[in-house]
Amino acid sequence: MLVQKIPVTVLTGYLGAGKTTLLNRILTEEHNKRIAVIVNEFGEVGIDHQLVMSSDEDIIEMNNGCICCTVRGDLIRIINALIERRDRFDYLVIETTGLADPAPVIQSFFVDEGLLRNTQLDAVVTVVDAKHVWEHWDSSEVQEQVAFADVVLLNKTDLVSPEILRSLEMKVQSMNAIAKIYTTQNCDLNLDAVLALKAFDLKNALSIDPQFLDEDAHEHDESIYSVAILEPGSVDSDKLNRWLYQLVQAQGADLFRIKGIVDVDEEDRRFVFQGVHMTLDGRPGKPWKPNEPRRNELVFIGRNLDEAALRSGFQACFA
């Protein structure tokens, strides 16, 4: 019997950015989703006790049907314990307070058999404090949180000028070409913008912003940035696999995210892959439509990337 996978959103962001505010919205708004939330320390979240129905060990049930639980031990153990209660929820949100690098959390969903079988990583959502992020921008925590994001909320926009906000948007965009950026006050936005996005779903096409690719404006003066490749033509699957595996072996520590849709061996279906550091995952995606132009789309997000080497490496994969 095919198990319906539980979608998972990973929520990250620097201290004070507004994750708690967003988490409270997710836990309290009427969204007709039964959501389980894992937080590092329940005391930090400051959830109104009137919202709590009952407490069961690590797991607290909210009166809108959501469940909240604390991570006191191993994340994978907690998630697998929650999966045993999957009749009580249909969505999982993980808040990563205190973790500088979201990669270990993301990688858990690729490497643990139970998680692979029962969950589907939906999106990584990063909250950024538009006023105070400048003080911490050079920290590895902030840069990695932005680099791994599928969605970035530039929060506290009421505290900065439009010019500063635009400058921040451009900074985020040059670092992460594929993140969807929203500007918010008090993380006030429709929760459809952060939940059930399938941004991490291999069946979904990448949406690379074409304007990002056309811009001559992005100067790669920062150590973390995006490289996007768009090329027509069919790729040899053996060459592609060999190149990707050699790439992650050699540069895995500096490769934060890889996403790609490629036309391999002139197959009827596109091949889609993604990676986090040295973890790679790929499989057949949606069929190509009869008159659809077949286009290879790849995005690399990482530190000190060699754009020319990435382009020539991919070029060598053509059949």
- Do 148 and 12 sit in the same domain of this protein? yes
Non-local CB neighbours of 215 within 8 Å, separated by 6+ positions: none
- Do 124 and 235 sit in the same domain of this protein? no
The whole-number average pLDDT for the span 205-222 is 45
pLDDT grade for 36, boundaries at 50, 70 and 90: confident
pLDDT at 174 over 50: yes
Of 160, 193, 226, which marks where a domain is finished? Answer: 193
Q: Is residue 205 part of a domain?
A: no
- Do 157 and 188 sit in the same domain of this protein? yes
Of 135, 168, 193, which marks where a domain is finished? Answer: 193
CATH of the domain at 216: 3.30.1220.10
- Do 177 and 262 sit in the same domain of this protein? no
CATH of the domain at 93: 3.40.50.300
pLDDT tens-digit map of 86-107: 888 888 888 876 555 677 788 7
pLDDT at 214 over 50: no
- Do 161 and 285 sit in the same domain of this protein? no
pLDDT of residue 1: 59
Of 193, 224, 254, which marks where a domain is finished? Answer: 193
How far apart (Å, rounded) are the C-alpha atoms in residues 302 and 38? 27
Residue range of the domain that includes 12: 6-193
Cα dihedral across residues 160, 16, 128, 14: positive or negative: positive
pLDDT grade for 68, boundaries at 50, 70 and 90: low
The whole-number average pLDDT for the span 56-68 is 51
Q: Is residue 203 part of a domain?
A: no
Mean pLDDT of the chain: 80
The whole-number average pLDDT for the span 5-13 is 91
Q: Is residue 72 part of a domain?
A: yes
Helix (H) or strand (E) holding 231, with range, is strand 224-232
pLDDT tens-digit map of 254-296: 888 888 889 999 999 989 888 888 888 888 888 998 888 888 9
What percent of the chain stands above pLDDT 70? 79
- Do 23 and 110 sit in the same domain of this protein? yes
User: Which residues on adjacent β-strands are paired with residue 153?
Assistant: 127, 182
Range among 44-58, 74-88, 92-106, 137-151 rated most confident = 137-151
pTM assigned to the model: 0.78
Alpha carbon distances (Å) from 74 to 40, 108, 158, 174, 294? 11, 11, 38, 34, 43
Helix (H) or strand (E) holding 109, with range, is helix 103-111
- Do 168 and 231 sit in the same domain of this protein? no
Q: Is residue 199 part of a domain?
A: no
pLDDT grade for 67, boundaries at 50, 70 and 90: low
pLDDT of residue 168: 95
Q: Is residue 198 part of a domain?
A: no
Q: Is residue 263 part of a domain?
A: yes
Written as six digits, the tokens of 62 are 């909210």
pLDDT grade for 185, boundaries at 50, 70 and 90: very high
- Do 217 and 170 sit in the same domain of this protein? no
pLDDT of residue 7: 92
- Do 189 and 215 sit in the same domain of this protein? no
How far apart (Å, rounded) are the C-alpha atoms in residues 73 and 188? 31
- Do 154 and 254 sit in the same domain of this protein? no
Range among 4-8, 82-86, 308-312 rated most confident = 308-312
> What is the phi/psi pair of residue 274, to 5°?
-150, 160
pLDDT grade for 44, boundaries at 50, 70 and 90: very low
* DSSP 8-class letter at 233: S
Q: Is residue 200 part of a domain?
A: no
* DSSP 8-class letter at 163: H
What percent of the chain stands above pLDDT 90? 30
- Do 25 and 158 sit in the same domain of this protein? yes
- Comparing CA positions, the residue from 184, 235, 172 lying closest to residue 209 is 172
Q: Is residue 188 part of a domain?
A: yes
The whole-number average pLDDT for the span 112-128 is 90
Q: For the chain, what is the domain count?
A: 2
The whole-number average pLDDT for the span 197-221 is 50
pLDDT of residue 99: 53
Instruction: Say how many residues make up the chain.
Output: 319
- Do 188 and 219 sit in the same domain of this protein? no
